[in-house]
Amino acid sequence: MSFLFVGTLKRVVNSKNVFRLLSSFFNYLNINQMKNIYFECYGEKIPLNFELLESSDKTILIQISDSQILELETSEKFKLYTEQKYLPKLDKNEYLNNDLLNCQAISQEGESFGKVSRVLSSNNSTLIEILYNEKSYIVPFNDSFIIKIDISGKSIIIKNLAELSNL
Encode pLDDT of 134-159 as tens digits: 899 999 998 899 999 999 999 999 99
What local confidence, expressed as pLDDT, does residue 74 receive? 57
What local confidence, expressed as pLDDT, does residue 33 receive? 64
Amino acid of residue 102: N
Q: Which residues of the chain have pLDDT under 50?
A: none
What local confidence, expressed as pLDDT, does residue 130 receive? 95
What local confidence, expressed as pLDDT, does residue 123 receive? 63
DSSP states along 113-165:
EEEEEEEEE-SS-EEEEEEETTEEEEEE-STTTEEEEETTTTEEEETTHHHHH
Question: Three-state DSSP class for 31?
Answer: helix
Which domains are delineated in the chain?
3-86 (2.40.30), 97-165 (2.30.30.240)
Q: Is the pTM for the entire model greater than 0.85?
A: no
CA distances from 153 to 94, 128, 149, 157 (A): 16, 18, 9, 11
What is the largest distance, in Å, between two alpha-carbon atoms of the chain?
56
